[in-house]
Amino acid sequence: QVQLVESGGGLVQSGGSLRLSCAASGRTFSGYAMGWFRQAPGKEREFVAAITRNGLRTDYVDSVKGRFTISRDNAKNTVYLQIDSLKPEDTAVYYCAASVDGISRITYQYEYWGQGTQVTVSS
pLDDT for 10 equals: 97
Q: Is the pLDDT of residue 90 over 90?
A: yes
Rounded Cα gap, residues 84 and 78, in angstroms: 19
Q: Could you tell me which of 93, 106, 108, 98 has the C-alpha nearest to residue 39?
A: 93
Mean pLDDT of the chain: 96
Give the whole-number percent of the chain exceeding pLDDT 70: 100
